[in-house]
Amino acid sequence: MKVSQYNSIYDFPSNPSQKLMFNAKSLALALVDCSKVEQYENYCQTHEEIPDEAFLNDLKTGGFLIDDSIDEKAILKYEQLCSRYSRSHLSLVIAATSNCNFRCVYCYERSVLRASTMSEATQEAIVKFVESEAPHLESFTVTWYGGEPLLALDIIESLSLKFIDICKKNDIAYGATIVTNGYLLNCAVVEKLNTLYVNQYQVTLDGRKEIHDCSRPLANGGGTYDVITQNLIDVKDVIPSVSLRINTGRHNVDQVHEIFEWVKDNGLSEKVFPYLGKITSTGKEDPTTSMCLNTDEFVEARIKMINGETANLQRNNFYPTPVRCYCGADSNNVFVIDSDGSLYKCWDDIGHIERAVGNINTNIEYNSTLFSYIQYSAVDDPDCSDCAVLPICMGGCPHRRVQSLPDRCSEFKDHLEEFLLITADNVIKARSKENENVQAV
């Protein structure tokens, strides 16, 4: 037996006689008496046999101790390659139009915005591409993007119907999501999108009216807050689910709680799930750089919301999950398609034609940009190879790595302890409540 490379041990302030043990490969989390932790630490240092057989078995089950023959890095690399090059799933992010009715101050597309709507020829090329992939597929997902995708609802409908038909003929599971600013969202639009298998929406509110209207105005400078908030209220009975993104920066970090309270006060908490999104700079000449929080500041804001009175309004996305590929950008069968048919690996690249990896009307180009995304291995990266959180990060944001931008690592690298402590406390509270309910019965 040997010790896993991905073990972490933390003090547990809620009960100093115990410690938290976490394994980033198995995702096992355990509260362990300090006396047992000492047995484990003695084994790590001297290989002195662990006398408590039950504890020894628990360590094996949790992946804290593994067989000598296991090469954890080789397994991680194998799992990443299997995921990256699998042909069983296809994911497309489609910008049916690059037109937008907003002029958000931090929009990374702002400098490359072109007024263009997808041609019929490009639409047909996308359909042919999906048809060519269909024999290999078990699942196919689309994210409708822009610009503002609802400005091209007719294209969304036309393509969706063709995608649905292809998937039915080939027994492929199909689903779609949409990233919309919410200004054109109404019951008729949602009901139409429901028939087109759109089951998840992302809408953004940046704070109360005066904050939001400054950062997300209409193209003519007008406000958008009143229309978006009323739309969300109007569609609550017909919309499947909304991830309500709050783009969080220095301009609004102290007010983001107001959006959580607005969701609760308007009876939307069954359908609308607010979360904090980090505004990121694309480089030193980016005018929004001064708005950006660093990772420490952003995590502090997230934890404040997690521990706040509106914590139950958030989906529990602060516990680590297994990462094979960090996102679609470093997966082979994921593409972003611009309105002119240009192909990209990351939607942060959209509009920057020098970062394109081909065009759907011609072909995928196996160029240096493509390879910089899909041939990277965090296991072989000296900055990542020996990191204890490698299995839940796998090199971090591919876009920031490719563009040599700072802050690419997962927030778990420096803040895992905080998130695990929150999880442990929540589990204990939940179990205590369950016991109270059992006793009451």
CA-based end-to-end distance of the chain: 46
The token duo for 347 is 């939607």
What is the predicted pLDDT for the residue at 273?
95
What is the predicted pLDDT for the residue at 111?
62
Cα 255 from Cα 269, distance rounded (Å): 19
Q: Is 434 exposed, middle or buried (0-12, 13-18, 19+ CB in 10 A)?
A: exposed
Digit-by-digit pLDDT tens for the chain (441 residues) are: 999 999 999 999 999 999 999 999 999 999 999 999 999 999 999 999 999 999 999 999 999 999 999 999 999 999 999 999 999 999 999 999 999 999 998 887 666 667 789 999 999 999 999 999 999 999 999 999 999 999 999 999 999 999 999 999 999 999 999 999 999 999 999 999 999 999 999 999 999 999 999 999 999 999 999 999 999 999 999 999 999 999 999 999 999 999 999 999 999 999 999 999 999 877 656 667 888 999 999 999 999 888 876 656 666 568 999 999 999 999 999 999 999 999 999 999 998 999 999 999 999 999 999 999 999 999 999 999 999 999 999 999 999 999 999 889 999 999 999 999 999 998 898 888 777 665 554
Cα 145 from Cα 124, distance rounded (Å): 18
pTM of the model: 0.93
What is the predicted pLDDT for the residue at 434?
74
List helix spans (H) across 97-224.
Answer: 120-133, 153-170, 187-195, 209-215
Category of 292 on φ-ψ map: left (φ > 0), alpha (ψ -120 to 50) or beta: beta
What is the predicted pLDDT for the residue at 109?
66
CA distances for 140 relative to 75, 83, 163, 166, 331, angstroms? 27, 15, 9, 10, 14
